[in-house]
Structures are given as C-alpha cells and as structure tokens.
Amino acid sequence: MKKWMVCLLVCGCIFGQQREDYDGSAGVTGPVGPRTWVQPRAVLFDNGPLVNSSGTGVGGLDESVMQNVSLGMGSLGFGFQSLGGNRVAEDFTISDPSWTIDSITFFAYQTGSTTTSSLTDLTLRIWDGPPGAVGSAVVWGDTSTNRLSSTSFTGIFRVAETTTGVSTERPIMAVVATVGAQFPAGTYWLDYAAAGSLPSGPWAPPITINGQTSTGNAMQSLDMGVSFNPLLDGFTMTPQGLPFIIEGSALSVPTFGAWGLLVFLVCMAIGGLFYLRRQRLA
C-alpha cells in the first residue's frame, strides 16, 4: 500500500506540474533544425500573439520572451499534461451564423526537446460556456480520443529576457487537432490536454505581449477537467491567455454588394412606377 502511495506521489510530481517557472538556466539542446510548421491559411480565429521578438533567437529564429526583468514575470509555460490530469481552457466567439471548424492549432513544448516534436497525444473538448460551470455543457469531443493530426516545430523558442538569443531548450511545437464539425453563433470554450515522450511537460506557452502582464482569461484544471481556475503567472499572479488558431469556413449573412444594391434599387423603382400606373388606371 505504501509503495503504491509513493508511486502515485512520484507520478504526480513528474506528470502533474501546474506550471514551469523560470529557474535562471539557459539550456541548449543541440543543433537547431529549421522551422517545419506551415501556418494555417483558412483562419477563422487567431488567439495570439505568441511571438514578441522576431528573429532574435538562435539561428535567427523567433522568440516568445517571458518578461522576467522588465515586468517581473516568472512562468514560462503552464501544465496541461493529460497523464497528470491537468487541462487548460480558452474561449472564442462565433459572430457569423455558423462556423465549420476543420482544425485547431495549439502550441506546446517539452523542456529539453530538440526541434523534432516529441508530442504524441492531444485531447479536446468544446463547451458552450465556461468549462465546469453550472449550465455549461460539452458540445463536442471528450478527454480520451487522441485528436492529434500533426505536430511540427514552429520556429519559435520560449525563453526568458535573460536567455534571449542563447537558449534553445524550449522549442515550441504546433499541435493540430482535427475537428470537422459545425457550430452555430455563440461563445465557446476549448478545453485540452497533451502528452509527449519526454518527462517535462507538455507545457502551454501563454500569449506574450511586450509590456503587458495580463494577456487573457485562460483557465486551468488540476483535477482531470472537473473544475477550472484562472491561469495565473506564478510571480505576478496576473491572468494569462493561451494562443490557438482555428481553421475552417464561415457561413456569413448574404450581402447585396454594390451591383446587387443597384439592381435592388432599380427593381424597387420599376415596381413603384408599375404600382402608380395601376393606381391611375383603377
């Protein structure tokens, strides 16, 4: 019994970390490979940015710089390890009549990874309200099906201000979930978790904007998605957002356009003249 308790505690420490706070190190993980991620084209929603320092990384790559010196921030990434029961959540709003969502790209890293992705699993739920809140319901997905369709190096390193241009131990990967479903207008929440082949993480890097400590309203669950709390930087205790990109197509309200409006006005004029003529003949 004691052995099982120790095992559970160890597993919790390894797989269930809440966040990765900066410890002052500037690790290098070996040769830097090229960016292999092809950015989405049919973008419906982009909840960014992730990059706040273009071209300053090793090899001229981009960086997502955690502002530990200028703003006193401390969290490089947030735990969403499916094996540890951790999940994170973010929201988006559909203002068109409906969206067909083909895929959603999330971002993750495992400390010590090379620029070859070590991510192996991604689960996703979509809620019609804040996850875990009274009245909210899951309208798509679950916590068991692996939705990962592809993963690749974004060409971005997650670093601290004191390790910019030096550290390569946190290469950020794009992790793409296949959805293939239609959703009507409304506000939805994405609730997701990942797994990988390395012991650290996976970690979700937050939205990063120069000069801002608060970047969004993301949430985190440490109990397998039962309850959620605000995602806060571990040093400033300010709310963080999480980047993601939604791809698909929108069903928009039809519009006349310039020629359509002209034709409509001409038809109205002809109809009016016809009506007046009939009135005179009556």
pLDDT band at 28, cuts 50/70/90? low
Q: Taking 70 as the threshold, does the pLDDT of residue 280 lie above it?
A: no
Distance CA 166, CA 169 (A): 9
Q: What single-letter amino acid sits at 49?
A: P
Question: 3-state DSSP call for residue 256?
Answer: coil
Expressed in angstroms, the distance from the first to the final Cα of the chain is: 99
Residue 278 lies in a domain: no
Residue 143: predicted pLDDT: 98
- What strands lie across the sheet with 75-79, from one edge to the other? 19-21, 75-79, 203-204
77 domain-assigned = yes
pLDDT of 22:
86
Q: Looking at residue 277, what is its pLDDT?
A: 63
Has residue 270 been placed in a domain? no
Instruction: Answer whether residue 2 shows pLDDT above 60.
Output: no
pLDDT at residue 5, rounded to an integer: 37
Is the pLDDT at 160 greater than 70? The verdict is yes
Indicate the SS3 state at residue 200.
coil
pLDDT at 272: 62
Query: Residue 196 phi/psi, 5° resolution?
Result: -150, 180
Residue 277 lies in a domain: no
pLDDT at 23: 79
Burial classification of residue 12, based on how many CB atoms lie within 10 Å of its CB (0-12 exposed, 13-18 middle, 19 or more buried): middle
* Contact (Cβ atoms closer than 8 angstroms) between residue 220 and residue 231: yes
Q: pLDDT tens digit string along 100-144?
A: 999 999 999 999 999 999 999 999 999 999 999 999 999 999 999
Q: How far apart are CA 111 and CA 170, in angstroms?
A: 5
In a domain, 254, yes or no: yes
Which tokens go with 111? 């400390």
> Is the model's pLDDT at 273 over the cut of 80?
no
Domain that holds residue 235: 2-265
Instruction: For residue 199, count other CB atoms closer than 10 A to its CB.
Output: 10
Over residues 250-279, mean pLDDT = 66
Percent of the chain past pLDDT 70, that is, above it, reads: 83
Q: What is the mean pLDDT of the chain?
A: 89
Give the model's confidence band at 4: pLDDT under 50 very low, under 70 low, under 90 confident, else very high.
very low
Give the number of domains in the chain.
Answer: 1
Residue 276: pLDDT band (50, 70, 90) is low
For residue 274, being part of any structural domain is answered with: no
Q: Which residue has the higher pLDDT, 175 or 259?
A: 175
Question: Is 242 domain-assigned?
Answer: yes
Residue of higher predicted confidence among 210 and 5: 210
pLDDT digits (tens, 9 = 90+) for 51-90: 999 999 999 999 999 999 999 999 999 999 999 999 999 9
Contact (Cβ atoms closer than 8 angstroms) between residue 78 and residue 17? no
> Is the bond leading into 202 cis (omega within 30 degrees of zero)?
yes
pLDDT for the residue numbered 282: 60
What three-state secondary structure class fits 63? strand
In degrees to the nearest 10, what's the CA dihedral of 20, 12, 80, 211? -20
Q: Is residue 169 part of a domain?
A: yes
**Could you identify the residue written with the tokens 């937050």?**
206
